């Protein structure tokens, strides 16, 4: 029923695995986006397999692009709404992007400060010794926790360090 998937392009109807391959997305992530309403519900084959076209590739690439720019799914949802109504004014798109840039910049400032503090802390134990007299452990015990910068308490919407 469906043309069988080839290694390369020219296919315009495909199953989820091929969509995943063409966009560098995991299959589960695609289904997740569908549940979240970023992708509309796909048509199905007789065997209940989702089927996609080039249009889905484009839309998913859009989403993945936005994600690789660290936008939230909510932000992406908004952008998609504009993409879907091309007659509207795109001022809000610019606004969203400017805000997002602001968040990234704020997070960079936070992390720079954090880096300074960590390096300062590291200086407290230049030489390896026993834990009981380790300058780092002692410093960590005594300092009072610095409060998060005003920026972040104000809701910078920028995540922390670890992944």
Which residues make up the interface to its own copies (CB under 8 A)?
Answer: 23-24, 58, 61-62, 64-70, 72, 79, 82-83, 85-91, 93-94, 97-98, 100-101, 103-105, 107-108, 111-112, 114-115, 117-119, 121-122, 125, 128-134, 136-137, 140-141, 143-148, 152, 156-163
116 binds, among DNA, its own copies, none (CB under 5 to 8 A by kind): none
Strand 43-44 and strand 13-14: pairing? unpaired
Distance CA 99, CA 109 (A): 15
Cβ-proximal residues to 104 (8 Å cutoff; 6+ apart), any chain: 70, 158
54-68 vs 27-35: helix crossing angle, rounded to 10: 90
Looking at beta carbons only, is 37 or 88 nearer to DNA?
37
Distance CA 119, CA 68 (A): 29
Q: What do you get for the CA distance between the two ends of the chain, in Å?
A: 43
Looking at beta carbons only, is 72 or 94 nearer to DNA?
72
Residue 139 near DNA by CB under 7 A = no
In the bound complex, what is the minimum distance in angstroms from residue 48's beta carbon to its own copies?
29
Within residues 3-32, the interface with DNA by CB under 7 A covers: 4, 15-18, 20, 26-29, 31-32
Per-residue b or e along 4-17, where b marks 16 or more CB atoms closer than 10 Å to that residue's CB? eeeeeeebeebbbe
The stretch among 46-54, 79-87, 106-114, 118-126 that binds DNA (CB under 7 A) is 46-54
- The token duo for 19 is 């969509």
Binding mask 62-81 for DNA (x = CB under 7 A): -----x----xxx-------
- Work out the widest C-alpha separation in the chain, in whole angstroms: 73
Give Cα 7 to chain centroid, integer Å.
Answer: 28
Residue 127 near DNA by CB under 7 A = no
**Positions in the binding site for DNA (CB under 7 A):** 1-2, 4, 15-18, 20, 26-29, 31-32, 42, 44-50, 67, 72-74, 162
């Amino acid at each position: 029923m469906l043309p069988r998937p080839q290694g390369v392009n020219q296919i315009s109807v495909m199953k989820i695995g091929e969509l995943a391959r063409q966009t560098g997305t995991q299959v589960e992530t695609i289904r997740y986006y569908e549940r979240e309403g970023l992708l509309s519900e796909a048509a199905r084959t007789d065997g209940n397999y989702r089927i996609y076209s080039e249009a889905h590739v484009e839309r998913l690439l859009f989403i993945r692009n936005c994600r690789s720019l660290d936008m939230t799914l909510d932000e992406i949802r908004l952008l998609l709404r504009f993409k879907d109504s091309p007659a509207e004014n795109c001022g809000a798109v610019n606004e969203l992007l400017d805000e997002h840039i602001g968040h990234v910049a704020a997070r960079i400032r936070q992390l720079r400060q954090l880096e300074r503090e960590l390096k300062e802390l590291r200086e407290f134990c230049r030489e390896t010794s026993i834990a009981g007299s380790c300058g780092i452990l002692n410093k960590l015990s005594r300092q009072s926790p610095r409060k998060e910068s005003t920026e972040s308490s104000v809701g910078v919407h920028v995540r922390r360090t670890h992944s």
